[in-house]
Chains A and B, each alone.
Chain A
Amino acid sequence: MVDIIILLTLLALGYGFGRYAEGRHYRSIIQREEKLQYLVAVSTKIIPPGEQYSQSSLVCGNVVISVDFFKRFLAGLRNIVGGRVMSYESLVDRARREAILRMKQEAEALGAKLVFNVKLETSSISKGGGNSIGSVEVFAYGTALIPHS
């Protein structure tokens, strides 16, 4: 009986705080993405001819995000029937966008206008532990090109 109460409390806490945190994070991501729209990040290697760049520098951004208890519970249920695991999709989406934003912020601080050869790397850092934690790390890196000032 006590176990059930603890489980329900954790689920309720996870649902409440998780939803709030996700909503807030998405709002902040959308706002910052709009602000950094002028800074283009592309995954090609070929630099368009024409403009001269005086400097290039490696820029990177990383983030570790964890899923809440409620969503992990849902994903556990989903494992039984199979199909799309929506609760993890939003987690990975948030992590990727946040990592790219942090990379762009670093490029912005250098005065760059373009980021080339952007690569994204996703890894689950706590894999292999006793309790498998639903946290994911995304690392984004690329080369920022700084035009002649």
Chain B
Amino acid sequence: MLVSNLEIVPGKRIIKHLGLVQGSSVRAKHVGRDIMASFKNIFGGELKGYTELLQESRQEAMERMLEQAKSTGANAVLNVRFSTSSVAAGAAELFIYGTAVILE
């Protein structure tokens, strides 16, 4: 499955558009990571725990989107966009959407 945030694929033609596909994941913070983060709030620096957490949840949202794309019979997802929103205190929603297409 080809994933890209361009609208075209160099050297390939789009045969059919299959519409929007999306995937999301809501993750809450871990207590252990939260304690580490509060230490970091005094010293400053990267919060590695959170970086990993967000990376994992984006991966999961991406997998959900790809599953949906696969079920519609697409072989590529173009014009992919990411969006992040905090739905509640301590939880973040990662949302990915794109257009499922069939490439020749």
Contacts and interface: CB of A to CB of B under 8 A. Distances in A.
Nearest to B39: A66
A64 interface: yes
A68 to B, nearest CB: 3
A129 B42 contact: no
Given A18-B43, A63-B46, A141-B80, 5 more contacts: A25-B45, A47-B6, A58-B80, A123-B92, A141-B82
B58 A21 contact: no
A128 B84 contact: no
Interface of B: 2-11, 37, 40-47, 50-51, 54-55, 58, 80-86, 88-90, 92
Contact of B44 (A18, A58, A128, A145): A18
Contact of A116 (B2, B6, B81): B6
Contact of B50 (A14, A57, A121, A135): A135
Contacts of B44: 14, 17-18, 21-22, 65-69, 71
